[in-house]
Amino acid sequence: MSDAIYPSLRDRAVLITGGASGIGASLVEHFVRQGARVAFLDRAAEAGEALVSRLAEDGPRPLFFPCDLRDIAALREAVGRAHTGLGDISVLVNNAAHDERHAWEDVTVEYWDDRIAVNLRHQFFAIQAVAPMMRRLGGGSIVNFGSTSWHIGQGGMPGYTSSKAAIEGLTRSFARDLGPDRIRVNCVLPGWIMTERQMSLWLTPEADAERARAQCLKERIYPADVARLALWLAADDSRMCTNETWTVDGGWT
C-alpha cells in the first residue's frame, strides 16, 4: 500500500514520545518519509539509536533523545533539546505508554502512581511545554494516543485503562483551551495493533480468532495503519478537525 503525501508536513517540526518501537517507531518512520523534521523521545536508548540509523536515508535524519518520561524535569529538558535542534515544534504526538498487566488486588499506591506517570501524566506536561511554541507559530496539531481497551471493557490492567480513559478528557479540555490559538487537539484510539510485543506476548490462535470475531473488518491491524491516521491529523488537510476521538480498530468498538 502506498502512502498519501501531505505537502504541509514537509519541513514541519514534529515531536513524538515513545518513538523507539511499536506504533511509535512507525510514527517516526512515516513522518520522516513525509519530509518532516522529527525528534523522538524514549527510554530505550539502543532501540532509538537503531531506528535513527535505519531511517538515515529515508528523509531528514531524525533526532533521538533518551528520556524516561516519568521524570518531568527530564522530559522538559528533552523538549528543550528538540527545540534547539528543530526550532518551534508544530506537531506533538503523545504516543508513549505501557500496557503492563496487573491484578487490582496487588496494586500499591506506589505502583498506581507509576502507572499514571507512565501512561498519562507526561502527556499533559509535554503539551504544556510545546503549546507556547505552537502559539508563536500561529497554530499546531497535538495528537494524543488513548486506547479502545477501556471502551471494550478490558480488565486486568486498571492503571492503564484508567489512564487511557483520562486522555480523552485531557484532549477535550486542551482542544477548548488552545483552539483560540489555532492549535488542534485530537485523540487516536488504537485497537489491537500487531506490534512485535503484542504478537510475542498475547497473539495466540484463540485470541486471534476472538479478534477476528469482534472486528467488522477481519484483517489484522498494524502500526502503519495508525501512523497514516496521525499523518492526516498532523497535516493541514485536517485543519478544522479538533476535539475528536479517531478509532483504528477494524470496527471492534
Contact, 106 vs 127, CB < 8 A? no
Contact, 64 vs 47, CB < 8 A? no
**Exactly one of 6, 111, 160, 222 is catalytic; which is it?**
160
CA–CA distance, 229 with 109 (Å, rounded to integer): 36
Residues 6+ apart with CB under 8 A from 73: none
CA–CA distance, 120 with 170 (Å, rounded to integer): 9
Residues 6+ apart with CB under 8 A from 213: none
> Would residue 222 show up in a list of annotated catalytic residues for this protein?
no
Count of beta carbons in the 10 Å neighbourhood of residue 5: 12
Q: Which of 204, 232, 100 is nearest to 160 (CA)?
A: 100
CA–CA distance, 119 with 145 (Å, rounded to integer): 10
Contact, 187 vs 167, CB < 8 A? yes
Q: Which of 130, 203, 190, 139 is nearest to 160 (CA)?
A: 190
Active-site positions?
160
